[in-house]
């Protein structure tokens, strides 16, 4: 079974401005991913950095909607380890922001197959990482690849 990690922007996307076509299409891809999860076709994993980012959201209405979705996922939780911290530090050398580096590190050290994000800058930066063992991909590209 495929094992995925969705970063915080993926949980946000279905609640973003969907009059923007890119947002709309990405939100639909994320809904398909969540549907595949509900049908036991793939697993989605969580982490402490995801918990933290969601808890820091300022828009309470959006935050509560995201918490509902996030809490509906069973507890596939990746615990924080020194390996994750060290990997995140290494990833920051590629101009990857600290929180993004932690997300990728959790996913890679958790031996997951895909890290899914709508952040094109992060996808481009991660493509420069020489020994990355996880595929960093947009949700639309993920759906096209696995369907």
Tell me the Cα Rg of the chain.
14
For domain 2-146, the CATH class is alpha beta
Q: Is the pLDDT of residue 75 over 90?
A: no
Of the candidate ranges 67-76, 82-91, 94-103, the one whose mean pLDDT is the lowest: 67-76
Q: Whole-structure pTM over 0.85, yes or no? A: yes
| Domains of the chain, residue spans | 2-146
Give the span between the Cα atoms of 111 and 113, in whole angstroms: 7
Give the span between the Cα atoms of 100 and 43, in whole angstroms: 20
Which is nearest to 27 in space by CA: 118, 124, 107, 99? 118
pLDDT cut 70: percent of the chain above it: 100
């Amino acid at each position: 079974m495929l094992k995925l990690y969705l970063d915080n922007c993926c949980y946000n996307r279905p609640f973003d401005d969907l009059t923007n076509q890119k947002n709309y299409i990405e939100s639909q891809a994320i809904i398909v991913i969540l549907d595949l999860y509900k049908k036991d076709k793939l697993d989605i994993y969580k982490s402490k950095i995801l918990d933290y980012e969601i808890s820091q959201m300022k828009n309470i209405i959006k935050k509560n909607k995201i918490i509902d979705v996030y809490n509906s996922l069973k507890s596939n939780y990746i615990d924080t380890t020194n390996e994750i911290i060290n990997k995140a530090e290494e990833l920051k050398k590629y101009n990857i922001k600290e929180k993004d580096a932690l997300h990728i590190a959790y996913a890679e050290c958790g031996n997951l197959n895909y890290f899914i994000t709508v952040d094109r800058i992060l996808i481009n930066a991660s493509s420069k990482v020489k020994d990355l063992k996880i595929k960093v991909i947009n949700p639309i590209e993920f759906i096209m690849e696995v369907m």
